Amino acid sequence: MKTPADPISHMNQRARRRVLKSIAGGALLPLTLPAALPAFAQMPVARPPLEQLVPVMKQITNGAPVRESRVKLEIPHLAENGHLVPLTVSVDSPMTAADHVTTLYLLSEKNPRPIIAKIGMSPGTGRAALTTRIRLAGAQHVVALAQMSDGSFWAASADVIVTETACLDASEIT
């Protein structure tokens, strides 16, 4: 999966505090500042995106590895209206009886129901491509996960900023 462009904003709280503390300690004595630098080097890797989706994906894949590259997900990076976001998924597959996409999942990181849609395809589909319109409750990652006839899983994710969110969750209604 893609790592976020700004790792600092995704850094977990404890690590941030540790880093801040080491900076605060060093700030008093400028000479010790270089000592604080390794703290940055050891900074934990940014929060893996799609953390919330890991259990959902695990349930679908049954623990099988998910690889990237064969799935292409086209979705606007900035969506004005979360009630209607156009999306196109295509999977690089010959769609023959021996090698085709059997199921295509559209997953959302923040919607109250993470599985947006489950699409069944067959060799008769000819081309593994789908265009639809989805709802998104806030800025988030959207994942397209494809299961092939040989049982392998391929996925792609995209980051979407939603200005006007779709009120999918009751907690958002005040």
Partner 1 sequence: MSIAKISVPSQARRGELVEIRIAIQHPMETGFRMDNMGKVIPKNTVSNLLCRYNGADVFRAEMGSGIAANPYLQFYIVAQDSGDVAFSWVDDRGEKGSASSKITVVV
Cβ-Cβ contacts under 8 Å for 138 (sequence gap 6 or more): 82, 110, 162, 165
- The Cα 50–Cα 42 span in angstroms is 23
Out of 60, 71, 79, 121, point to the residue binding partner 1 (CB under 8 A). 121
State the residue for tokens 């997953």. Answer: 107
Out of 59, 122, 161, 164, point to the residue binding partner 1 (CB under 8 A). 122
Q: Which residues between 39 and 98 bind partner 1 (CB under 8 A)?
A: 83-85
Pick the closer one to partner 1 by CB: 134 or 145. Answer: 134
Q: Pick the piece of the chain touching partner 1 (CB under 8 A) from 14-22, 24-32, 45-53, 122-130.
A: 122-130
Would you state the torsion angle of the CA atoms of residues 167, 146, 88, 56, taken in this order, to the nearest 10 degrees?
A: 10
Kindly state the smallest distance separating residue 77's Cβ from partner 1, in Å: 18
CB 73 within 8 A of CB 50: no
* Site map 123..162 versus partner 1, x via CB under 8 A: xxxxx-xxxxxxxx--------------------------
- The Cα 127–Cα 91 span in angstroms is 8
Which residues are at the interface with partner 1 (CB under 8 A)?
83-85, 106, 108, 111-113, 115-127, 129-136, 167-170, 173
